[in-house]
Structure 1
Amino acid sequence: MTGSASELARRLGDHAEAVCREYLSNGHRSGNHWIVGDVRNTRGRSMHVRLMANAKGPAGKWVDEQSGEHGDLLDVIEASCGLTEFREVADEARRFLAMPRTQWPTTDAQRHPAAARGSPDAARRLFGMSQPIAGTLAGRYLAGRGIILTARERALRFHPGCYYRDLVTGETQTLPALIAAVTGVDGRITGLQRTWLDPTGNGKAQLVDPRRSLGHLLGNAIWLGLDPGVPIPVMAAGEGFETMASLRTVMPALPVAAATSANHLAGLSFPPGCRRLYIAADADAAGRHGIERLSQRAGKAGILALALRPQLGDFNDDLRHLGAASLAAWLSDQLAPVDARLFLPCG
């Protein structure tokens, strides 16, 4: 055993069907191939994994006929588990093969370009491994929260088996997750937020912290309705994604930004051409501090900042318990008349 990536891939190939049953459980065997939707373990028939070596090549090689992607079983482990570092992929492969861990030389890590844990590169890779939310558990989760967004929202994705590490025990598991891209006003992904979901469809996963962010967040946000390069004269911003997605549900033409925390809200970057900024209020002290800081920065930039306040705990509570029509009516009295007419259905 040389410890090289190619040797590890070959060993996985010796157990190709077992690997597929473990990491591509939504597929099935057909002849000498395992058939599944894609490398992220989506249901379907587009991806074919060779189970035994033949004249066409070694066991474990796969191709996705729809996307053109191809690779080996290490790629399967990486994508299906939502891993972003080769060391983690290797450790998971060794766990499956019941082999001891080893120190991997730098040359083997170059098999996949290095992406430091929590870096923007790691965020972009995980986002790229994910899929559109339509018809997925993530789409059903949002609908259950009353959030209805169009398919044009490019910031949201779904991963069926996103890697989760318990920060206390160090134990890991894979769970479905809603993936939300954090971007700058130029639309480039700098980070993301993961919301792990209960596989049975019963809301968030039963975890101490079912929502985590990674990457460069300060100044950036989860943007809904951002069109990079196009001026945004009026927008709304707030701390939580579901709060801002609720506003977007009743005002689908209004660009909104979720900064993911009170501190990040205070440092949000303004898009070109912004003249009016609606800030979704938060009841706690940290939230109020973020609103005050953002308002002050907006004033110095010549932007009029106006607060939007919910009737209940937050705007998602309003949407779920009072309904979209009630929320729209409540907002109509808080918006500038010209914005009420422009953004509200009956404004």
Structure 2
Amino acid sequence: MFVMNTWYVACSLADLDALGDKPLGRTICNEKMAFFRDGSGKVVAVEDFCPHRGAPMSLGKVCKGQLRCGYHGLEMDGTGKAVSMPGQRVRGFPAVKSYAVVERYGFVWVWPGDQSKADVAQMPVFSFFDDPAWAYGGGLYHVKADYRLMIDNLMDLTHETYVHATSIGQPEIDETPCDTKVDGDKVVLQRHMEGIQAPPFWRMAMQANGLDPEAKVDRWQICRFTPPSHIMIDVGVALQGHGGFDAPADKKAYSVVVDFITPETETSHWYHWGMARNFKPDDAALTDSIRKGQGTIFGEDMEMLERQQANLLRWPERKLLMLNIDSGGVQARRVIDRFLAQEQQEAS
């Protein structure tokens, strides 16, 4: 179900730090974890379980870099080892599980599987996060649906015509065929639309970038899946006839939709969404406006996916039908299945 020996986004650094002296409890790939900063200020993660009476450590408090259980006051360090408890001797307690953690791109990344295999060199690279020519804004949704349904959704953007009709959807998406290619463990789906009117969201972006929002444009959608469940989508519009995706910066409005999809359980996931753009990066008001608009768009997806999941649970025996527009999601699932099979083989 879940690829375990890999890196997932657990939370944003901002969300963790906003809690102050409270730890952050989160379930990832059915592993219950508690995140906090240790005495050196480094983010660490331990199993969300107190070895004394089994209480969740995430209900406790961080005291001088130690995580204190909110039930009886047992304290543990970032390795999961009990270090103290008022009036008791607990240093002989076996340590609970701890997890490899990396802080990068404004997020906390965690490796939920075999900790001996955790490899920072396997961290994905996204250069735009560190590039001052780009701005980023995003958020988080907790979605009560199989994480693979979100992958299907993002690797098939024909749904925009219907689910997002008032923002980014338009009939030309349906009318333009897509092309899907597999490159090793990566899946790339592309759609290029030429000589069309931009939909409302992109008219707003064009105007913000000093372009005529009523002008005809060439529009692109390039969905890039990488395991375990990251999807970057190159999206944008360029004034017609200037090269589309390859148009010069002053002729287009271009962004990357950032999708970090982290499984929680078999029927729920954490969806860290955002948009990175390479125009007007210093315009904080524009960043906030795009973030709010994008949040509304993804909220529409969330309702659809949760109701889809409810239907699938109600009728588990029904086979879902496949069309050519499903090729991106189908290929992404094949990559996931290959990783799962490899982990199962190594475990046996």
TM-score by length of 1: 0.22
More strand by share: 2
TM-score by length of 2: 0.22
Greater length-normalized contact order (CA 8 Å, ≥ 6 residues apart)? 2
